[in-house]
Structure 1
Amino acid sequence: MRVMVLVKATNESEAGNLPAAEMFEAMGKFNQELADAGILLAADGLKPTSSAKRVAFDGPSRMVIDGPFAETKELVAGFWLWEVRDMDEAVAWVKRCPNPMPGPSEIEIRPVYESADFEDLVG
């Protein structure tokens, strides 16, 4: 199963404060472990929402909204895409992850829809 692993933003990440060199090194080591285990499909950090845009849809209309966006706890600062056996394996890997932020932080794990999930819809 594929999962998207989301590193939730903090006030520090939204301020554009980059992690210390030690964190980059620890995260690089962790990413190498994921790659060596054949789990890592993609990974990246995201710039603060001050450099982001959103496009709001309402029927045929589109409205562009410039960042920064409120509610930091609802924002994403980075992600991984993993191929794991099940959610338990994903949780086990996240528990091994270095804390991605200097203070308290959260990582969310979301299963990715697979084509088999839509078989009943497309016949």
Structure 2
Amino acid sequence: MRFMVMVKATADSEAGVMPSADEFAAMGAFNERLVQAGVMEAGEGLHPSARGARVAFSGSSRQVINGPFPITNELVAGFWIWNCASLQEAIEWVRQCPNPMRTDSEIEIRPIYSAEDFGDALTPELREQEERLRQQVQTRNG
């Protein structure tokens, strides 16, 4: 199963406070363990929401909302994509993670849908398209 593992933002991360060299080293060592175990597929930190935007949809209209966004603890400061046998395995990995922030913090774990989860709504043609696009992305990214 694939999971998106999201590091929740804090006031510091929203202010653009960067990790120390020791904090980078601790997270780098953890990431190395994830890669060596075949768990980590991707992982990145995100700039503060002040540098981002949201697009709100209502029927056919679109409204752009520029950051910063007000509710810090609902924002994502970084993420990983992991491949684990179960939610419990992903939880065990997160429990081994160094605290990603200098203050109290939270990491959210969410399963990623797979083609099988969509049943008959994902027709054979749509499955073929999805696989073709996935392969194109993988080829482009090397």
Indicate the structure with greater helix content.
2
- Secondary structure, aligned partner of 1:95: helix
Q: What letter corresponds to residue 26 of structure 2 in structure 1?
A: A
Identity of aligned residues (%): 55
Q: Is 1:7–2:7 an aligned residue pair?
A: yes
Kindly provide the amino acid, as one letter, of the partner of residue 110 in structure 2: R
Q: What secondary structure is seen at the aligned counterpart in 2 of 1:70? A: coil
Q: Partners in 2 of 1:53 and 1:97 — Cα distance?
A: 29
SS in 2 for 1:32: helix
Higher RCO (C-alpha 8 Å, min separation 6): 1
Aligned partners of 2:122, 2:101: CA distance in 1, in Å?
42
Q: Which residue of 1 aligns with 2:89?
A: 89
The letter of the residue matching 2:5 is V
Q: 1:103, CA displacement in angstroms? A: 0.9
Q: Which has the larger radius of gyration?
A: 2
Question: In structure 2, what is the equivalent of residue 117 of structure 1?
Answer: 117
Deviations 1:10-35 (A, max 9, x none): 00000000111111000001001000
| CA distance in 2: counterparts of 1:64 and 1:115, whole angstroms | 31
Shift of residue 122 of structure 1? 3.4
What is the CA RMSD across the aligned residues, in angstroms?
0.8
* Superposition deviation, residue 108 in structure 1: 0.3
Provide TM-score, normalisation by structure 1. 0.97
The count of aligned residue pairs is 123
- Mapped to 2, the partners of 1:64 and 1:122 lie a distance apart of 30
Q: Could you tell me how far 1:120 is from its partner in structure 2? A: 3.5
- In the alignment, the residues of structure 2 paired with residue 12 and residue 73 of structure 1 have an alpha-carbon distance, to the nearest angstrom, of 11
TM superposition score normalised by structure 2: 0.85
- Compare the two structures and name the one with the higher strand fraction: 1
Structure 2 gap ranges (5+)? 124-142
- Aligned pairs for 1:99-110 within 5 A: 99-110=99-110
Q: Is the 8 A contact 2:16 2:47 kept in 1?
A: yes
